[in-house]
Amino acid sequence: MNKAVERGRNGKRGAHVTLSDVAKKVGVSPITISRALRNPQIVSEDLREVILRTVEQMGYIPNLAARALAGRHNGIVGVITPALHQYGFTGLMVGIEDRFRDTEFTVQYANTLNHAEGEAGLLKSFLTQKPAGVIIAGAESYRDLLPLIERAACPIAHITDLSQEPQKLVVGLDHYTAGAEPTRFLLSRGYNRIAFFGRGADVRSRRRIEGYEAVMRDAGRFDPDLIIGGEAASRTGLGRELFSRLLQRVPDVDAVFAQSDELALGVLIECKARGIRVPEDLGICGFNDLEFSAFIEPSLTTVHIPRYDIGYRVADMLLRAVRDEPADEDKADLGFTIIPRGSTR
C-alpha cells in the first residue's frame, strides 16, 4: 500500500480526523469539543488551550454541513457585494470583520461585479447552506431578492441607498443627497461649469447623478455634455482620458465632481500635464476619501463616506438578530461629509 495513503488512513490527519478522535485524545465528550469550538468562552481557559492545541496537532477540520444539520445554522455569515475588487469596499469589509472577530461566526464573501442578474443566485447559494445570516452590501435591484428574503430562515441585513426597498436591518445613506450637496459646494466656491464623472452603472451612482442634475438645473447651469463616463468604474488612467475628452467638447469646464478619488487623481494629473492650475482654473472634488487624497499636492477635496462605521453597524445589527437580541434601530442613515482641501477654492 502507498505509504502516504496508509498515513492518511491510520495517522488520522486532516479531513480524516473526526470529532470523536479529538474528544478521545483530550479525554472529554465529543459534545464538549463541539461546544468549545463554537463558543470558546463556555469552557475553562486551560481546557480551551488543550482542545485548540489538539485540534491543531491532529488537523481536525469542522464539518460545516454537519453543524448545519445538527443546529440552526452552520456558523457562517455570507456577504454579497458588487465591488469587492474596489478600494472603497475595504473600509466596509474591515468594519464587518471587526464586529465578528471575537464571535463564533466566520465571514464569507461573494462578488456580483454589479451584475443584478447574479444577485439572486448568490443569495440562493448562501441560503441553501443554512448560514447564520447574510449581509447584502449594495444590491442593484431587490425585485428578485425580496421573495427570497421573505422566505429566508435566517436574518438578512442590508447596506443600501436609503431609497431602496428594505425597511429592516438597513444601514446606508441617501446617494441622491450625496450627489446634490457636493455640487452645491462647488457652486458656492464660484465654479459654474461643473462636470460629473461617472458611469451610472449602479443604483448608487445613478442616484448621485440625479442629485447633481437637480442642483445644476436649479442653478440654471445644467448641460448634458458635462456628464461623462467610461467603461471602467474607477481608474486613475480613465480620469485622465475622460478629462481629455471633456475638454474637447466643453473647453470652458471649470470644475469636476468625480465619483471616485482615483478618477479625481487622474484629472489632477492631466491638469498638471496641460498646465491647468488647480484650484484656480479648475476645481476637483472626488468621492470616498481614500488615504492618498489628503497627501497628494494639492490635496483632494472629497466626500467622506463612513465605510468602516457602516460595515460595523450592519454587522452589529445582523449579530443581534441572529442572537435574538433586541435591535437598537431598524434603519440607520450614516450620511457623508464633504472634506474641503486644496483642489477647490
pLDDT, position 14: 43
In terms of domains, do 314 and 202 share one?
Answer: no
The verdict on residue 343 lying in a domain is no
Q: What is the pLDDT of residue 62?
A: 64
Q: Does the residue 251 lie in any domain?
A: yes
Q: How many helices (H) and strands (E) does the chain have?
A: 13, 12
Q: Domain count of the chain?
A: 3
71 is a domain residue: no
Cell output for 77: 455569515
Is 246 part of any domain? yes
Domain-embedded: residue 345:
no
pLDDT at 12: 44
Question: Last residue of some domain: 9, 37, 62?
Answer: 62
Sign of CA pseudo-dihedral 114, 118, 124, 130 = negative
Query: Based on the domain organization, do 84 and 148 belong to the same domain?
Result: yes
Structural domain boundaries enclosing 189:
175-306
* pLDDT for res 46: 86
Identify whether residues 159 and 184 lie together within a single domain: no
Beta carbons of 119 and 139 less than 8 angstroms apart: yes
Residues 231 and 167 in one domain: no
Q: Answer yes or no: do 287 and 182 share one domain.
A: yes
Same domain (yes/no): 239, 133: no
The whole-angstrom separation of Cα 318 and Cα 325 is 10
- Burial bucket for residue 285 (CB in 10 Å: 0-12, 13-18, 19+): buried
In a domain, 67, yes or no: no
pLDDT for 18 equals 81
pLDDT tens digits in sequence order for the chain, 345 residues long: 444 433 333 444 444 688 788 889 999 988 888 777 766 667 788 888 898 889 888 877 665 555 544 556 778 999 999 877 777 788 999 999 999 998 989 999 999 877 777 899 999 999 988 899 999 999 999 999 999 999 999 999 999 999 999 999 999 999 999 999 999 999 999 999 999 998 777 899 999 999 999 999 999 999 999 999 876 656 899 999 999 999 999 999 999 999 999 999 999 999 999 999 999 999 999 999 999 999 999 999 999 999 999 999 999 999 999 999 998 899 999 999 999 999 999
> Can you give the CATH number for the domain in which 327 is found?
3.40.50.2300
User: Per the domain annotation, does 12 fall within a domain?
Assistant: no
Contact 340, 285 (CB under 8 A): no
Give the phi and the psi of residue 275 in degrees, each rounded to 5: 75, 25
Same domain, 302 and 315: no
The answer on 84 and 48 residing in a single domain is: no
Indicate if 118 and 38 belong to the same structural domain.
Answer: no
Give the pLDDT confidence score for residue 6 in this predicted structure: 39
Q: What distance lies between CA 326 and its chain's CA centroid? A: 25
Q: Are residues 183 and 202 in the same domain?
A: yes
Task: Compute the chain's Rg from CA coordinates.
Answer: 25
Residue 70 within a domain? no
pLDDT at 1: 42
For residues 304 and 289, give the distance between their C-alpha atoms in angstroms, rounded to a whole number: 5
Contact residues for 29 (Cβ-Cβ < 8 A; gap 6+): 23
